[in-house]
Amino acid sequence: MSMPLLHLDQVTIRFGGLTAVGEVDLTIGANELVGLIGPNGAGKTTVFNLITGVYQPTSGAITFNGQTTSQLKPYQLTKLGIARTFQNIRLFASLSVFDNVRAAVQVHRDHGIRNALWRGQAFRDGEAAVEKQVMELLEIFDLGQFRDEEAKSLPYGNQRRLEIVRALATKPKLLLLDEPAAGMNPTEKAELTKLIRFIKDKFQIAVLLVEHDMQVVMGICERIAVLDYGVKIAEGTPTEVRANPKVIEAYLGE
Amino acid sequence: MNSGAKRWLLLAIVVAFVTSCFSASFNRYYLGVAIDVGISTIMAVSLNLINGHTGQFSLGHAGFMAVGGFTAARLTLTLSSSAPPDSAQGIALFVVAMLFGGLTAAITGLAVGLPSLRLRGDYLAIVTLGFGEIIRVVFQTSETFGAATGLTGIPKQTTLFWAMSVAAVTVYVVACLVNSTYGRGFIAVHDDEVAASAMGISPTRYKVTAFVIGAFFAGVAGALYAHHKQVLKPDGFDFMKSIDYVVMVILGGMGRTAGVIIAAVLLTVLPEFLRGFAEYRMIIYSLLIIALMLLRPQGLFAFQKKSQTRS
Ligand SMILES: Nc1ncnc2c1ncn2[C@@H]1O[C@H](COP(=O)(O)OP(=O)(O)OP(=O)(O)O)[C@@H](O)[C@H]1O
Ligand SMILES: [Mg+2]
């Protein structure tokens, strides 16, 4: 592997006396699909929050695309190419489906205020381009027909997918998905599995997937890292991980 | 809306101009109320950008109005003290004074907003509350601004034309800002700061932008007010005045421009007409607010939830 896209080097974060994540090493290459699993409270979401700059590590370092991410704010990391979804859906509740994606599209645009106030040709061209981009994304994910509906009025599975679309609208190099299959029925899960693989290939991005549903994880991940009590206890291919006694113990002892 | 917005603004200004041409024949009292309505609209619509669209809670809008009013009036008085300007010069000076008032208020807004908007939660409410009180005391004790008596003899420059036109510009600016791809960021910040941040939107930047633009228009409204009433007293810009505008935004339905304009008009006009029942005025006024609250609870309690239709 050439230069990894994301590299966590001995990353630790403590909340008071609790070591939520302890000395975790993790490397993700461009266009790799990696799973991050572990029992409840193992620290998976915390790893996401560390990667996206919501938390700063107590010790250790994170590099993204060769650049150290310490001190960068979440919105700056998004500009660099890290996007995420949330374990408990966080769509913009008062915005339409279309506008949820539109809000995310503006990351890579400038002259916002001036154009918005002047409303000249540049503004109209810009807004037309945005609309095209948003609709293309929505259509890919079959959400086009809901464009004017309130995001929160969508059925649960579609809300999850809209969150993924919104994240993709920021043009990420790395997409972090936090339990995207949670609350989905088996059909939706099967579709989601296909969708994640499709996203990885179509957008040529890396995906880090946190998921409790083993069928989903084992089915699509090329490599899986396992956390337990904040510590990485195993890493390998799905077959290796499944056979690892430490992993079995961690899950049985849950 | 696109260029339709610009046409709308032009039309509004033309209407303001034509109406203003006939204003000599209007009842002076009603004319005064109409100008008050324009000023309230500017205040409420600009506060709506901060408290409604962006979901912050500023309690110091009257403070920015005071900053704009006092600095603009001071400028006018100083520049016209030696030789009274002719009418064209007077108007030019007035325009400069309005912009000056807006800018000083905007700079003050930046100084107040930058430290407090970085923090989450209700810090802004507390800080702006304190700011409103402090700024009043500053003007009360400053000789430059006439101390407790305030400024008097400010030339009457605010006409119906200026009040209506600036109100139209305020509505245009706020509506155009919010109704753009860029502007969806304000509402995204309102809905969920964590998610907005994860989408590449800097919450602090948007909040400060909203706050500074809001303060600018409050400052311009202060300048209009100063050149309308011709006297400016620090007492007039107390906490209750800020609350008036907060109530207009809440009754209008946080983040809904049209509703906020209606609320600004109603809450400016009604107290005037209830003046005849002076002793009952406050009672009627409160009952009215309660009735409105009951009839439009979504307007009152829409801090978090709100439908997506906005204008
Ligand atoms: N901000 C915080 N302050 C204190 N403790 C925290 C904080 N964030 C997470 N924790 C703790 O860190 C541990 C790991 O939490 P985390 O949410 O990362 O687990 P998880 O693996 O995502 O679990 P789940 O599968 O339930 O989502 C938990 O014990 C949690 O209580
Ligand atoms: Mg979690």
Q: How confident is residue B282, by pLDDT bands cut at 50, 70 and 90?
A: low
pLDDT at B306: 40
d(CA B180, CA B172): 12
Place of tokens 């407090």: B116
Sign of the four-CA dihedral B188, B192, B193, B199: negative
The response to whether residue A22 sits with its C-beta less than 6 Å from ligand 1 reads no
Q: In the predicted model, what is the mean pLDDT of chain B?
A: 87
Identify residues of A whose CB sits under 8 angstroms from chain B CBs. 52, 54, 73-75, 78-79, 83-84, 86, 90-96, 99, 102-109, 112-113, 115-117, 119-120, 123-124, 126-127, 130, 148, 150-151, 166-167, 169-170
Residues A129 and A163 in one domain: yes
Which whole number is the average pLDDT over A17-35? 96
Check: CB of residue A44 under 8 Å from CB of residue A212: no
In a domain, A54, yes or no: yes
Quote ipTM for the complex.
Answer: 0.94
> What percent of chain A is modeled with pLDDT above 90?
86
Residues A22 and A3 in one domain: yes
CB crowding B128-164: b at 16 or more within 10 Å, else e:
bbebbbebbeebbeeeebbeeebbeebbebbbbbbbb
Write out the two tokens for B107.
């700079």
d(CA B142, CA A6): 58
pLDDT at B288 over 80: no
Calculate how far, in angstroms, residue B294's C-alpha sits from the geometric centre of ligand 1: 42
pLDDT at B1: 44
pLDDT at B20: 87
Q: In the predicted model, what is the mean pLDDT of chain A?
A: 94
Report which DSSP code applies to B51. I
Residues A74 and A181 in one domain: yes
Distance from CA of B123 to the nearest CA of A (A): 21
In a domain, A89, yes or no: no
Candidate from A195-199, B33-37, B67-71, B120-124 with smallest mean pLDDT? B120-124
Which whole number is the average pLDDT over A145-159? 94
pLDDT at B275 over 90: no
Residues A160 and A149 in one domain: yes
What domain range is A133 assigned to?
96-170
pLDDT at B294: 76
Test B188 with A117 for CB contact under 8 angstroms: no
Report which DSSP code applies to A94. T
Helices (H) and strands (E) in chain A, counts: 10, 10
pLDDT at B3: 67
Chain B residues whose beta carbon lies within 8 Å of the beta carbon of residue A83: 198-199
Which whole number is the average pLDDT over A99-123? 88
Q: How confident is residue B296, by pLDDT bands cut at 50, 70 and 90?
A: low
The response to whether residue A42 sits with its C-beta less than 6 Å from ligand 1 reads yes
Contacts of A7 (CB under 8 A, 6+ apart): A26, A27, A28, A62, A63, A64
d(CA A17, CA A197): 39
Residues A158 and A122 in one domain: yes
In a domain, A211, yes or no: yes
pLDDT in tens, A159-210: 999 999 999 999 999 999 999 999 899 999 999 999 999 999 999 999 999 9
pLDDT at A189: 93
Check: CB of residue B126 under 8 Å from CB of residue B53: no
Residues A17 and A123 in one domain: no
d(CA B42, CA B26): 22
Residues A72 and A187 in one domain: yes
> What percent of chain B is modeled with pLDDT above 90?
61
Sign of the four-CA dihedral A100, B172, B249, B49: positive
In a domain, A251, yes or no: yes
pLDDT at B15: 92
In a domain, A90, yes or no: no
pLDDT at B291 over 90: no
Residues A178 and A162 in one domain: no
The response to whether residue A45 sits with its C-beta less than 6 Å from ligand 1 reads yes
Test A94 with B195 for CB contact under 8 angstroms: no
pLDDT at A29 over 90: yes
d(CA A2, CA A46): 27
Identify residues of B whose CB sits under 8 angstroms from chain A CBs. 1-3, 5-6, 173, 176-177, 179-185, 187-188, 190-192, 194-203, 209, 255, 304-308, 310
Residues A118 and A221 in one domain: no
| Boundary (domain end) residue, out of A128, A143, A170 | A170
Sign of the four-CA dihedral B139, B141, B144, B146: positive
Q: Half-sphere exposure (CA, 13 Å, Cβ side) for B143?
A: 0
| Ligand approaching nearest to the C-alpha of A56 | 1
Write out the two tokens for B134.
């402090």
Candidate from A68-82, A109-123, B199-213 with smallest mean pLDDT? A109-123
pLDDT in tens, B197-246: 999 999 999 999 999 999 999 999 999 999 999 999 999 898 888 988 99
Read off the pTM: 0.92
How many distinct structural domains can be found in chain A?
A: 2
d(CA B85, CA B154): 13
pLDDT at B303 over 60: no
In a domain, A86, yes or no: no
Contacts of B177 (CB under 8 A, 6+ apart): A113, A116, A117, B49, B183, B186, B213
Residues A42 and A7 in one domain: yes
Count CB-CB contacts under 10 A for residue B33.
15
Residues A148 and A30 in one domain: no
Consecutive H or E run containing B233: none
In a domain, A88, yes or no: no
Question: Kind of pairing, strands A67-68 and A33-37?
Answer: unpaired
Consecutive H or E run containing A109: none
In a domain, A147, yes or no: yes
Residues A146 and A189 in one domain: no
| Boundary (domain end) residue, out of A144, A170, A196 | A170
Test A109 with B182 for CB contact under 8 angstroms: yes
Q: Which residue has the higher pLDDT, B2 or B182?
A: B182
Q: What angle do CA B3, B6, B11 make, to 5 degrees?
A: 130
**CATH code, domain carrying A215:** 3.40.50.300
pLDDT at B311 over 50: no
pLDDT at B298: 59
Check: CB of residue A157 under 8 Å from CB of residue A67: no
Q: How confident is residue B307, by pLDDT bands cut at 50, 70 and 90?
A: very low
Which among A15, A49, A229 is the best mutation to test ligand 1's pocket, defined by most ligand atoms within 8 Å of the CB? A15
Write out the two tokens for B106.
């905007």
pLDDT at B302: 44
| Boundary (domain end) residue, out of A147, A170, A193 | A170
